[in-house]
Amino acid sequence: MNKITTFLPALFMLFASSCKQPSKTILSDFKPFIPPVDYETADKRADSLLEKLSVDEKIELIGGHKMFFTKGYEEYGIPEFYFSDATQGVHIRNELENQVEKSTAFPCPLALAATWNVTLAREYAKSIGEECRAGGIAVLLGPGMNLYRVSQNGRNFEYFGEDPYLAARMIENYVTGVQSTGTIATLKHFLCNNTDFHRRRSNSVADERTLHEIYLPAFKAGVDAGAMAVMTSYNQVNGEWAAQSDYVISKLLRQDLGFKWLVMSDWWSVWDPVKAIKAGLDLDMPGHSIKNLFDSNEFESMYVRTNAKRLLDEDRIAQEDLHRMAKNMLATFISMGLFDRPVKDTSYLKNFEKHEQTALQTARESMVLLRNTNNILPIDKSADLKVLLTGEYVEKNAEGGGSARVEGYNIITMLDALTQEFGDMIKYLPEPTANQISDADMILLSIGTNDNEGWDRPFALPDKTDSLVLNTAALNPNVVVIVNSGSGIQMTGWRDKVAAILYAWYPGQTGNKALAEVISGKTNPSGKLPISIEKRFEDSPGYPYIPEDKTFYSDWKQDIDMTIPVYDIYYDEGVFVGYRWYESQDIQPLYPFGFGLSYTSFEYDNLRVYDKGISKGEEIVVEFVVKNTGRVEGVETVQLYIQDVESSVLRPLKELKGFKKITLPPGESVKVKFTLKLKDLSFWDVKTHEWVAEQGMYKILIGASSADIRLTEEVNYKLEN
């Protein structure tokens, strides 16, 4: 049966000549977004417009209308604006009028993070921004960027993984990509919305340092990149609902991050309009109840728009509050130029083919090869092999659900893509017999999860899925497991029993084509994990977070159940999230952050650090050489971590501070250069409330993953006298 080992050398010769590469070396030429109308001018224009409006008319502006719109006044030249989800493409709501006729389903944002390709993040987001323009969408309700604290979070697929530095670099590029098209990007969900388990009833309790080092950096990067809207989250942060928390909005967002544009609530998440108004919220979405959801009288007092007049009469809010809210909103739209041109521009429809290519390229670069025993992959198309395809997501594509869901078009199933790539060599059997499994030369086994907004799902797979893998592996040693999931899953029980594991995330409408290319070797896999995958959920930093008397659910009814008492989630692990946690606790994850195999190999050498003794204002220049030592062209993402050797506070053993993606033909090497600033050595000091680098020794660690450090050097930072 096992013909696999006999054809490998021939395959490599073939592969070396045909291997197509995902991308060039990625160097970020990042520049923040500058809006067409400057802040001061927009502010003045908003002020003079608002002079014409009565109080009642102003009140109409500060709450949403028709679920996804803001109020327009033709007589004053104020258009109504359409807001639409989300980070992985435009969610088409057929119940609304004038929808864009189609939208591209991109690989999920976590897959985008697995590419570690900031240029691609910008292109991906630019495509989505263009589709917004084609559909008349003024405000994209994304990017989402809540950090991966627990693998069970049902919305992890919408976000950018566990590391604040990686997430920040992707987000800043995402924001500039969307906004370069004239579409406003919304950073969401602010803040600490790291689980969807009864998300409207959870209270995230986190300290100042943890917020600044872990949960704020991606938002900060988005703000610095010029994002013009922020959406608050459903949960409480340190005892108050985010949408009405002065600490969250006025202190953290406005004061600490310096955000000056539009702050909106998540849908139905204001409970006390006075608090929300005083906390600094500008826009309550969607502003009203809808049938079957918050439509009882009990909830009437929660809406800002419908209560504002009464609150004004009762002197509980002031006219200035309303003015501020309406002005922030109008100034944001004016600054983006939305009062000076139409939002809708159907000429962008001609770019959809390009968007589809961007989606495909993202999928190519996102696939993470976790295991490849005896180089079972790639499969040689010309070999005489019987490849059996089976499993869950062969005929229907795996995707994340909720507001982020994008239907897509030109959908390619796994079956279509593999058949196109391999022809008759692939035999699909939905329910193969034991004989059929053992007779095959190789099995491609598809498994996955359906992750969804509104609830979490267990890290452990259902028993039937685990049994499927184990039973198949017991009959055939050449099982390649293809995982479609929006987060980490438990693979511990069968990892060592299968020949290969390919993590394909939710790959979008054409992602299975990329999968087939990776399996055939046309594309050399280059994705690296933006998350750690633990052996068991109990190992993870966020365990336990679900109240003892509660169990998993998967329906919207429970999501909006307001009778559940608010439950606290203590972020006791502090800054030790993801690999920072596993390393400090000496727990081996099954697969570490930053890990991913290639069909080639890379050597790291010759690390030089200039200057090893630095003082304030100086930079540390780090150089080393990477060589492709295999037989095919490949892409490596090199990672730079720092370690504070002599810190006065407890710090992680590693903190990512740089990465670069490099394409190298076989046998070739390249010099890689990083420049580190003092900020890169710093931690958030709770005494001074700022970033501080202490003098002393730091290690510079260069690696192929967080657990595979190849080169190390020490630097000494001296404070000036």
Distance CA 176, CA 224 (A): 10
Residue 340 is a catalytic residue: no
Query: Which alpha helices (DSSP H) does 589-669 contain, by range?
Result: none
Please tell me whether residue 85 binds ligand BGC under the rule CB under 6 A.
Answer: yes
Query: Considering the complex, what minimum distance in angstroms separates the CB of residue 235 from ligand BGC?
Result: 11
Residues forming beta bridges with residue 715, ordered by sequence position: 698
Q: Which amino acid is located at 223 in the chain?
A: V
Residue 486 and residue 508: Cα distance in Å, rounded? 12
CA 331 from chain centre, in angstroms, equals 29
Instruction: For residue 143, say if its preceding peptide bond is cis, omega within 30 degrees of 0.
Output: yes
Give the residue carrying structure tokens 């967080």: 706
Q: Which is nearer to ligand BGC, 170 or 529 (CB)?
A: 170
How far apart are the C-alpha atoms of 312 and 700, rounded to whole Å? 58
Contact (CB, 8 A) for 369 and 635: no
How, if at all, do strands 368-372 and 567-570 pair?
unpaired
Give all strands (DSSP E) within 408-485, no chain letters.
426-428, 442-448, 479-484
Query: How many other β-carbons are positioned within 10 Å of the β-carbon of residue 96?
Result: 13
Q: State which residue, 83 or 348, has the beta carbon closest to ligand BGC.
A: 83
Q: Beta strands 262-264 and 567-570: pairing type?
A: unpaired
Verify binding: residue 305, ligand BGC, rule CB under 6 A.
Answer: no
What whole-number distance in Å separates Cα of residue 249 and Cα of residue 242?
8
H-helix or E-strand spanning residue 113 = helix 109-115
Please list the helix, strand and coil fractions of the chain in percent, rounded to the nearest 5, in that order: 35, 20, 45
CB closer to ligand BGC out of 129 and 703 = 129
What the block records as the tokens of 463 is 């028993």
Which lies closer to ligand BGC via its Cβ, residue 72 or residue 401?
Answer: 401
Please choose, from the candidates 204, 212, 271, 202, the residue with its C-alpha nearest in 3D space to the C-alpha of residue 243. 271
Residue carrying structure tokens 């002197």: 315
Buried b (16+ CB within 10 A) or exposed e, 336-369: bebbeeebbbeebbebbeebbebbbbbbbbbbbb
| Rounded least distance, CB 188 to ligand BGC, Å | 6
Does the footprint of ligand BGC cover residue 559 (CB under 6 A)? no
Q: Does 188 bind ligand BGC (CB under 6 A)?
A: yes
604 lies in the site for ligand BGC, by CB under 6 A: no
User: In the set 267, 591, 602, 717, which binds ligand BGC (CB under 6 A)?
Assistant: 267
CB 143 within 8 A of CB 189: no
Shortest separation between residue 573's beta carbon and ligand BGC, angstroms: 25
- In the stretch 391-430, what mask flags binding to ligand BGC with x, by CB under 6 A? ------------x---------------------------
In the complex with ligand BGC, the residue whose CB is nearer, 188 or 528, is 188
Minimum CB distance to ligand BGC, residue 359 (Å) = 21
Which one-letter amino acid corresponds to residue 719?
L
Query: What does the alpha-carbon distance between residue 301 and residue 182 come to, in Å, rounded to a whole number?
Result: 36
The answer to whether 266 contacts ligand BGC (rule: CB under 6 A) is: yes
# residues contacting ligand BGC (CB under 6 A)? 7
Length of the chain: 721
Q: Which is nearer to ligand BGC, 140 or 693 (CB)?
A: 140
Does residue 636 belong to the site contacting ligand BGC (CB under 6 A)?
no
Q: Are 325 and 60 in contact, with CB atoms under 8 Å apart?
A: no
Distances (CA, A) of 210 to 143, 152, 540: 22, 21, 17
Binding mask 209-248 vs ligand BGC (x if CB under 6 A, - otherwise)? ----------------------------------------
End-to-end CA distance of the chain: 73
Nearest-approach distance from CB 553 to ligand BGC, in angstroms: 16
**DSSP 8-state code for residue 681:** G
Give 21 or 87: the residue with its C-beta nearer to ligand BGC: 87
Position 517 contacts ligand BGC (CB under 6 A) = no
For the CB of residue 519, give the shortest distance to ligand BGC in the complex, in Å.
34
Using alpha carbons, select from 63, 112, 57, 109 the residue that is nearest to residue 83. 63
Catalytic residue among 163, 266, 282, 321: 266
DSSP state for residue 541 in the 8-state scheme: T
Tell how far CA 52 is from the center of its chain. 42
Q: Which of residues 453-492 bind ligand BGC (CB under 6 A)?
A: none
Residue 403 Cβ, how far from ligand BGC at the closest point, in Å? 4
In the complex, the smallest distance separating the C-beta of residue 231 from ligand BGC, rounded to whole angstroms, is: 6
* 425 vs 3: CA distance, rounded Å: 14
Helix (H) or strand (E) holding 275: helix 273-279
Q: Which is nearer to ligand BGC, 234 or 352 (CB)?
A: 234
Residue 373 main-chain phi, psi, to 5 deg: -65, 135
Confirm or reject binding of residue 141 to ligand BGC (CB under 6 A): yes
By beta-carbon proximity to ligand BGC, the closer residue of 196 and 655 is 196
Residues that bind ligand BGC (CB under 6 A): 85-86, 141, 188, 266-267, 403
Q: Which residues are catalytic?
A: 266
